[in-house]
Amino acid sequence: MPRPFTPKVVTGNALLEGDVVYLAADGSWTRDLARAELLTDEADAQVRLIEAQARAGEVVGVYLADMAEGPDGPEPTHFREAFRRAGPSGYVFAKSTS
C-alpha cells in the first residue's frame, strides 16, 4: 500500500550565489521559505519539479522537500531542510572571502 502524499516545496540552490531557493506560486525563486508554494497534490508537485529542473540556467540541485503547513507558510519536517533554511554553516566566512 503506497504511503499518502506529504506536502512539498520545490527547492534547490541559486546557480550564481549558491543560496537556498524555493519556488513561489508565481514561478519566481525566493530565498524566503514562507513565500514558497506548498504543493499538496502529487501530480502538481511532479509537474512543478520538472518545470523547475528545466531552468538549469538559474538553479541547480532541484528537488521536492517534505514540508508541513505552518501558520506563516511551509515549515520543514526534516532536520536537513531546517538546517538548509538557516543557511550554510560557513556563510559568513564563505561570503567574506570571495
Q: Is there a domain that residue 15 lies in?
A: yes
90, 9, 16, 8: which is closest to 60 by C-alpha? 16
- Tens-digit pLDDT profile for residues 12-46: 999 999 999 999 999 999 999 999 999 999 999 99
pLDDT-based confidence at residue 80 (cuts at 50, 70, 90): confident
Q: What is the structure's pLDDT at 89? A: 56
Q: Is there a domain that residue 1 lies in?
A: no
> Which residue in the block uniquely carries the three cell numbers 502524499?
5
Count up the domains in the chain and report the number.
Answer: 1
Q: What is the structure's pLDDT at 85? A: 80
Q: Is there a domain that residue 70 lies in?
A: yes
**pLDDT at residue 74 above 90?**
yes
Q: Is there a domain that residue 38 lies in?
A: yes
The pTM score is 0.84
Domain of 53, in residue numbers: 8-96
DSSP state of 72: T
- Residue 21 contacts residue 55 (beta carbons within 8 Å): no
